[in-house]
Amino acid sequence: MDPRREDTPQELFQAIEEFNSGAWFECHETLEELWVGSKGEMRDFYQGVLQIAVALHHWRNGNFKGAEGLLERACDMLRRVATPCRGVDVARLVEDAGVMRAALVSLGAERMAEVDAALVPRLHLLSPTPSP
């Protein structure tokens, strides 16, 4: 059975809510429990989303190097994951995180607070495709 199509754990829905509401540290804590017990592609998925949450936490706290570096590493990791994964639009997340990282790099550490809040990535769930 494809682990990307199994029932999505309730903790992931909690993490998505936390992520999208800006509770990025809490999202990290929630995803860490899923990440620790996973393997292969699922481990990469959880770790990549977790790293984006931590990057956003760093951005909010003014840690340029932490935010920029984690956004880059998370995108590299998530590019190895099929999309959708657990219903999450991974391709869109990678694209959005890349746009935010580019804006951060363009502004630099001194102006990182000027990143448009509309560029902050969100987790998007894709509707399940009905079986034939």
CATH number of the domain residue 36 falls in: 1.10.3450.10
Domain span at residue 104? 10-119
The chain-wide mean pLDDT, for the chain, equals 91
For residues 44 and 70, give the distance between their C-alpha atoms in angstroms, rounded to a whole number. Answer: 14
Q: What is the pLDDT of residue 7?
A: 72
- 71 lies in a domain? yes
Roughly what angle, to the nearest 10 degrees, separates helices 40-60 and 10-20? 20
Q: What is the pLDDT of residue 41?
A: 93
Size of the chain in residues: 132
- 115 lies in a domain? yes
Number of domains in the chain: 1
Q: Is the pLDDT of residue 120 over 90?
A: yes
Q: What is the pLDDT of residues 4-26, one digit of tens each?
A: 445 778 999 999 999 999 999 99
- 35 lies in a domain? yes
Q: What is the pLDDT of residues 61-97, one digit of tens each?
A: 999 999 999 999 999 999 999 989 999 999 999 999 9
